[in-house]
Amino acid sequence: MSIIKKQSELHEDMVTWRHHIHKHPELSFKEDLTSDYIAAVLEANGIEMHRGLAVTGIVATIHGKKEGRVIGLRADMDALPIQEKNDFSHKSVHDGKMHACGHDGHSTMLLGAAVHLKENNNFSGTVHFIFQPAEEGGGGGRVMVEEGIFEKFPCEAVYGMHNWPGMAEGQFAVHDTAVMAANETLKISIKGKGGHAAMPDQCVDPVVIGAQIITALQSVVSRNVAPLDSAVVSITMLDAGFVSNVIPNDMNLTGSLRYFSTDVGNEVKAKIKKIVEGISHSMGATATFSSTPNYPATVNTPKHAELCANAAAEVVGSGNVLRNEKPSMGSEDFSFLLNASEGAYIWIGNGLVPEDGPEGGCMLHNTEYDFNDEILPLGSSYWVQLVQGILK
């Protein structure tokens, strides 16, 4: 049962908020106008807040009618460095910046829940509404934890939600454990011996070595990771050479590693190192391999996942709460909050994506993506049900 009804006054307000935020996208740690706008709505509704965590972050607080437990609800605020190709009235006015991942909708759904609960605080306890910057590669969740969010605003558990194109409007997905993968950046540097392209016999060609390494890396997951485990190795950037008739001295490869289990991640990295060093040495070159952790895996606490599933079922019915969806190899910095607190992260359906084009929706990080305004009441109602179900 959706507490916040479609076409209600609050729904109309949420559409206005969402369109404003979408129209004025800002990148990680620079969400100044977005933060100001959200703060203005909170202030207009008499909701207390703390500003400045992780530069632009906001933590708003609503107390129930009675004392009790304390939970946190989180939404992200930042946009992506993408040029929007949509042509509607609320398209981005900032060249090269776009809300292509729905963070405008995430912030709006949480804001709608806060406005509703301020006037309907018939629960026991306290809710902290966390508006977090810099999810898109900036690690805003990590910064909030490092700056003491859970010391300043202690929470028994923290909860997050992401829209999911390709899943029908009116559905939620709740995972018992793993939801999103860990993410590391891989760097490989090959040092050979350059020279004239017409005299390769006098050189140690790092490009040929790099090509063999890329090919060999395709076997790391398929032949070293157990079939029931998951990992992805992708080489995505190559840097070598400067002119057509010169074999370069060096070649640099950059890529991405994704995994759920730390043991699997370590196993994959050890194998990559052996391949890189082995192939390079066998061909007369030297090479180094390094990896830089970005985001850890997002893993739910099962008991909190169950609470989320119950709340979602109150909104859309148990038949529309998917419990066996595969986790995503994408990453999410809500993982830093879940490493510091128990909790759970769920998906809300943004609508099916047609095969013949973006009309009616498209996938995340697409130049023609837009958040579905019709799910705003569902997402806000889920937050309200979760609060009322936990803080009875």
> Mind listing the pLDDT tens digit for each residue in 246-267?
999 999 999 999 999 999 999 9
Q: What pLDDT is recorded for position 354?
A: 77
Percent of the chain with pLDDT over 90: 96
Q: Is the dihedral of CA 91, 295, 110, 62 positive or negative?
A: negative
**Could you tell me which residue, 1 or 46, shows the higher pLDDT?**
46
Q: What pLDDT is recorded for position 239?
A: 98
Q: What pLDDT is recorded for position 356?
A: 59
| C-alpha neighbours within 13 Å on the C-beta side of residue 272 | 30
* Structure tokens belonging to residue 354: 């047609």
User: Rounded CA gap, 293 and 186, in Å?
Assistant: 9
Q: What pLDDT is recorded for position 353?
A: 84
Q: What pLDDT is recorded for position 217?
A: 98
User: Rounded CA gap, 386 and 253, in Å?
Assistant: 45
User: Rounded CA gap, 309 and 318, in Å?
Assistant: 8
Q: What pLDDT is recorded for position 2?
A: 78
83 contact partners, CB below 8 Å, separation of at least 6: 95, 96, 98, 367
Strand 343-351 relative to strand 172-173, pairing: antiparallel
Q: What pLDDT is recorded for position 357?
A: 56
* Structure tokens belonging to residue 224: 């070293």
Across 188-195, average pLDDT = 98
Q: List pLDDT tens digits, range 81-100.
A: 999 999 999 999 999 999 99
Structural domains in the chain, CATH included, are 9-178+297-390 (3.40.630.10), 182-295 (3.30.70.360)
User: Rounded CA gap, 180 and 300, in Å?
Assistant: 10
Across 119-131, average pLDDT = 98
Q: What pLDDT is recorded for position 160?
A: 98
Contacts 24+ apart (CB under 8 A), 198-201: 198/245, 200/247
Nearest to 165 by CA among 356, 320, 353, 19: 353
Percent of the chain with pLDDT over 70: 98
Average pLDDT over the chain, rounded to whole?
A: 96
- In degrees and rounded to multiples of 5, residue 158 shows phi and psi of -130, 145
N-term to C-term CA, the chain = 18
Is the pLDDT score of 360 beyond 70? no
Is the pLDDT score of 171 beyond 60? yes
User: Rounded CA gap, 370 and 362, in Å?
Assistant: 8
Is the pLDDT score of 276 beyond 70? yes
Q: What pLDDT is recorded for position 194?
A: 98
Biggest CA–CA distance in the chain, Å, is: 82
